[in-house]
A and B are shown apart, each in its own frame.
Chain A
Amino acid sequence: MTDGARSTLGKLERWGTAAENASLVLLLAAMMIVAVGQIVLRLFFNSGLVWADELLKMMVLWIAMIASVAASRSNRHLRIDVLSHFLPPQVSRLPRLIVDAFASFMCGVIAWQSLRFVLLDYEFGDTVLVDIPAWMAHGIVPLAFAVMSYRFLLLFIREGISLVRHSRRRPPAS
């Protein structure tokens, strides 16, 4: 990898983290304000916004998607974590390599399938939240899975490189 390519990737990484953090902060803040605002309206004005409930649910979807991209960056997805606790680090590298390749593939497939669905949304001109195009609201799903697929691919490449380096460096058996 050239230095130029590496620094571009590094930049992408930092921008990605910043974008995740910013959207999580905004979504959480908006969620609190909408939900509490709805309570205030209900209690003091005996009214409410008809679309507030649907908006909150849509925000949960967005948080779920963006937070799971963040979880894949920080390697915090829920998993059955037996091997890494009991195998020496060198040995557990190979299963991890396989697993990262599989995760990248699976996320890619989901990204593709949900993109097909979102394109249908677009074609039919479906709307959510009164008149927001559905493809915008649902578009987060293919986007998030595509980014996760890319993240797991990076992990796979990184693991692969260190596996190759490690086996080269190992002293010959005496």
Chain B
Amino acid sequence: MIALSILLLVLAVFGAPLFTVIAGSAMLGYHKEGVDLMAVAVEILGIAGMPFLSAIPLFTFAGYLLSESNAPKRLVRLTGALLGWMPGGLALVSLAACAFFTAFTGASGVTIIALGAILYPALQQDGYPENFNLGLVTTSGSLGLLFAPSLPLILYGVVAEVSIDDLFRAGVLPGLLMLLMLSGWSFWVNRGNRRPLKSFSLREVGAALRESMWELPLPVVVLGGIYSGFFAVSEAAAVTALYVLIVEVFILREIRLAQLPTVMRESMLLVGGILIILGVSLASTNYMIDAGVPQKLLAIVAELVTSQTTFLLLLLVFLLILGAILDIFSAIVLVVPLILPIAAQYGVNEAHLGIVFLAAMQLGYLTPPVGLNLFIASYRFDYPIMRVYAATFPFLVILTLSVIIITFWSGLSLWLIPD
């Protein structure tokens, strides 16, 4: 039994698809308890029983469509017109544009490819140091994870059965804190080069606004609709997907109809990967709860930890290690059900727990050796991976600081949630 569990771990490290490893461990557990293995099939069918899940394919599809169109270019122009007059303007523009884009495209690495390709050469041309640019673009790829309607937020809400509206509210201030701290760092690094990108011009703002007039309603409808409670998150996702499809394909015609199946398939690859892990995790979670794993974990933790502060510290260390190994989506479905009851014992609010979880996992995108953003940037901008590690390191330190603040200042997450 233990030998087989170790074998599964070895297979996971060898790079077996995670869903097969999780399914294997669930079946091992069921077998031990004498439960018919058919139960695994029943649990996978549980995908069809979860609320709001349709938001995940729909938002992902909308995000991929946007990234294939010229929307990233328009977004950079608009942000430039609005923020470019500040000293160090282009760095700020990059951070803001990336955060916004990531929130809408679900933090899947498309930001680095879609926006980085525009921003990186522009930063170089504007005389920012090369390492700074590389680090900035790599970091920006996952910035914005805490803003609605990012996929990890939705997935956490579904798995933890926490109100997704509350999570969308909880993410706003912590997300802004990350943006602010990174902006501060950018100012400091480039204090010798305080050149604004361009002077402020109402005419340029007007032109940029006109150029993006078709995309402008999106944040209003989606965020306004969700925050006001007018739309459920799955409804907002459907409206977004249909709207983006009509605008980019039929009105602006930036994506040809013949391209559409490819974009759909491409976007669904990620969705398939996430949802199948969700399905088999339902089985493994069910087994672990039956076997009393959360209680046993709690007993161990209770030995070590008495106060909420030390619990959060332990949690943070655990999440940072987890983030270096597992991608954010697998981590959510596998780990959240186990730590949720423990966190409740220490009086940690579940929305705050979600923000801490995602913020810490965001660092995982940038942590060597396997951070996803590091490899995408290395591949996309053609630098050796060690160089990307080094360039990203200062940004990683700043973000780690922000995650520590977010973890221990729960008021920041809970401020905007109505009682």
Contacts and interface: CB of A to CB of B under 8 A. Distances in A.
A153 to B, nearest CB: 13
B17 A79 contact: yes
A98 B277 contact: no
A106 B4 CA distance: 14
A72 B17 CA distance: 9
Interface string B21-61: 00110010000000001101110110111100110111001
A28 B57 contact: yes
B235 A28 contact: no
B49 A63 contact: no
Contacts of A102: 11, 16, 20, 24
A37 B279 CA distance: 28
Contacts of A70: 265, 268-269, 272
B275 A141 contact: no
B275 A109 contact: no
Interface residues of B, number: 65
Contact of B11 (A98, A116, A120): A98
B238 A36 contact: yes
B135 to A, nearest CB: 20
Nearest to B56: A60
Contact of A78 (B50, B58, B264, B330): B330
B333 to A, nearest CB: 10
A71 B11 CA distance: 19
Interface stretch (B67-75, B142-150, B178-186, B239-247): B239-247
B261 interface: yes
Interface string A129-145: 00000000110011000
Given A67-B269, A99-B11, A99-B14, A31 B239 contact: no
B279 A64 contact: yes
Interface in A107-133: 107, 109-110, 113-114, 116-118, 120
A52 to B, nearest CB: 11
Contacts of A61: 45, 47-48
B298 interface: no
A39 interface: yes
Interface stretch (A6-14, A19-27, A158-166): A19-27
Nearest to A97: B14
Nearest to B242: A32
A105 to B, nearest CB: 8
A3 interface: no
B17 A103 contact: yes
A99 B272 contact: no
B63 to A, nearest CB: 13
Contacts of A71: 269-270, 272-273, 276
The A interface, classified by DSSP as helix, strand, loop or mixed, is helix
Interface in B213-269: 231, 234-235, 237-239, 241-242, 245, 260-261, 264-265, 268-269
A83 B238 CA distance: 39
A147 B64 CA distance: 26
B11 A85 contact: no
B395 interface: no
A56 B24 CA distance: 29
Most B-side CB within 10 Å, residue of A28, A72, A96: A28
A116 B261 contact: no
B329 interface: yes
Interface of A: 20-22, 24-25, 28, 31-33, 35-36, 38-39, 56-61, 63-72, 74, 76-86, 95-96, 98-99, 102-103, 106-107, 109-110, 113-114, 116-118, 120, 137-138, 141-142
Q: Closest 9 A-B residue pairs measured CB to CB?
A: A67-B272, A35-B238, A64-B275, A114-B41, A68-B272, A77-B17, A95-B14, A67-B268, A61-B48
25 contacts: A20-B265, A21-B261, A21-B264, A21-B265, A24-B265, A25-B261, A25-B264, A31-B54, A32-B238, A35-B234, A36-B239, A56-B234, A60-B56, A63-B57, A64-B47, A68-B19, A71-B270, A74-B269, A78-B19, A78-B329, A82-B15, A83-B13, A96-B15, A103-B17, A114-B45
